[in-house]
Chain A
Amino acid sequence: MAELNTGDGGGKKGDGKVRSKKSNSKVDLTAMVDLAFLLITFFMLTTTLSKPQSMSLGLPDKEDKPDPKNQVKVDENRTMTILLGDNDKLVRYVGLLATPVAGGAPKEFSYGKEGIRKELLSRKKLVLEYTGNKDKGMIVIIKPSKKSNYRNLVDVLDEMAIVDVPTYAIVNEYTPEEQKLLEGK
C-alpha cells in the first residue's frame, strides 16, 4: 500500500510501542492519478491529431509533343467540366460547351454539400443510366483558372473523393469561350 512513515516515529526504530501507535498516514494518490490521466489524454490526442492528413493525387505523364495516337476520344455525354474562377466561383457544364446535353448548360454552383455535390451525384446517376455499364462512369474535367486558389482545387478534388467519381482530370488549357464564361455573368 502507498503509505509513508511520518517523522514522529523515526527516532525510535525498533521500539515496538511506537509501532502500535499507528501514526502512519497514507499518501493520497488521487490527485497524482488525476494529473497522470490528464497528461495521458493530452498526449494521446496530440500525437494522433498532429500527424498531417494528406490527399494523394496522380497526374498523367507530361508530354511535350502530344502524340495523336495516344489521344483518347471520350463520349461527350459522360463528361462534366468544372471551371474554377476567382472569388470561389464555380461553373460547370455537361457535354460540349457549344452543344451541352439536356440540363447541362453552363451554370454556376456553390461549393459543398448543397451545391456541386448534389449536381455531381445526380449527374453520376444519369451517366450510369445512359451508358448502362458500371465501368463507364462519369468523367469530370477540372479546369482551375489562373485566378482560382488552392483551396478551391482541393475542395473540388475532395468532392470527387466523396462522390466517388471514377475518372477525373485536371486540365490547364482554356478555350476563349470558357474564359468568357468565367469572366462574364
Chain B
Amino acid sequence: MAVKMSKKAASIDMTAMCDVAFLLLTFFILTATAKIPEPLPVDTPASTVQTKLPDTDLATITVGKGKVFFDLKGREVRKRTLELMGQKYGVAFTEDESAKFALMEGVGVPITSLKQLIAMKSSERSKSNLQPGIPKDSLDNQLSQWIQNARIANIEIDDKELQIAIKGDAKEEYPAIKKVMDILQDQKINSFNLVTGLRAKDK
C-alpha cells in the first residue's frame, strides 16, 4: 500500500492546468481577428505614439505607389455605402454583390469596374497591380464620394461620426498624402489618424 501511495505522488495531476490552458486558448482563438490579405501592402512608418485605432466606425485610406485604396469597417455600413455609391454613379448592385462587398477587403478600383472586382475570387483580387486605385482627380473625385457616402451611411446605421485613418507608405512622397488630406479637409474633416508602426522611444 505504501508503495502505491508514493507512486501516485510522483506524477502531478495536470488535468486542471490543461483545462485552464485550453480555456484560455479557446478564448484567444475566438477573440483573435483573422488578418485579411491586403490588396495594397504598405510599409507604414514607425512612431512612438501608441494610440490604438478604433475597431468600428473607421474608414482606412491606404496610400502607396501613387494609388489610393479605401476600406471600411462594419458590414451594414459597407452595404449602405455601396448602395449610396451605386445611386450616385448609376450602377445597380444586386443583393448578392452587396453581401459579398460587405465581407471584402479594401477596394481600389473605379466604381465602374467594381462589379467585376466583386465577381472575382478573393485570391484573384489580392494580386498586385490588378487594382488601379480609386480616382481622386478634381474632375472625377470618387475618393471624396466614397468618404462622404461612408460618413452618411455610418451616421444612419451607427449614429456616430466616422473616423478616418490614413495608412501611407513610408516612401510615398508628401504630395500624394497631402492630396488625400486636402480631400478630407474639403469635407471639413480636420482630425484624423495616421497609421504607424511601433518604435522604441530612444531611437
Contacts and interface: CB of A to CB of B under 8 A. Distances in A.
**A associates with B:** yes
Interface of A: 1-2, 22, 26, 29-30, 32-33, 36-37, 39-40, 43-44, 46-47, 49-62, 84, 112-113, 144-155, 157-158, 161-162, 172
Nearest to B197: A53
Contacts of A53: 47, 49-53, 195-198
Identify the 10 closest CB pairs spanning chains A and B, nearest first: A43-B28, A36-B21, A151-B170, A29-B14, A54-B193, A154-B45, A158-B47, A151-B45, A62-B185, A150-B168
6 contacts: A47-B31, A52-B196, A53-B198, A55-B194, A61-B190, A113-B203
B68 to A, nearest CB: 13
A36 B174 contact: no
A162 B35 CA distance: 31
Nearest to A34: B21
Interface SS of chain B: mixed
Contacts of B196: 52-55, 154, 158
A157 B47 CA distance: 9
A22 B63 CA distance: 69
Contacts of B18: 2, 29, 32-33, 36
B94 interface: no
Nearest to B191: A58
Most chain-B CB neighbours within 10 Å: which of A145, A152, A158, A161? A158
B193 A57 contact: yes
Given A51-B52, A55-B196, A150 B172 contact: yes
Given A56-B192, A157-B194, A161-B48, 8 more contacts: A29-B15, A30-B14, A32-B14, A43-B28, A51-B52, A54-B49, A144-B178, A151-B45
Interface in B18-34: 18, 21-22, 24-25, 28-29, 31-33
A50 B49 contact: no
Contacts of A49: 198
Contacts of B177: 150, 153
B169 interface: yes
Most chain-B CB neighbours within 10 Å: which of A32, A112, A153? A153
B188 A51 contact: no
Nearest to A60: B190
Interface in B155-172: 165, 167-172
Contacts of B31: 47
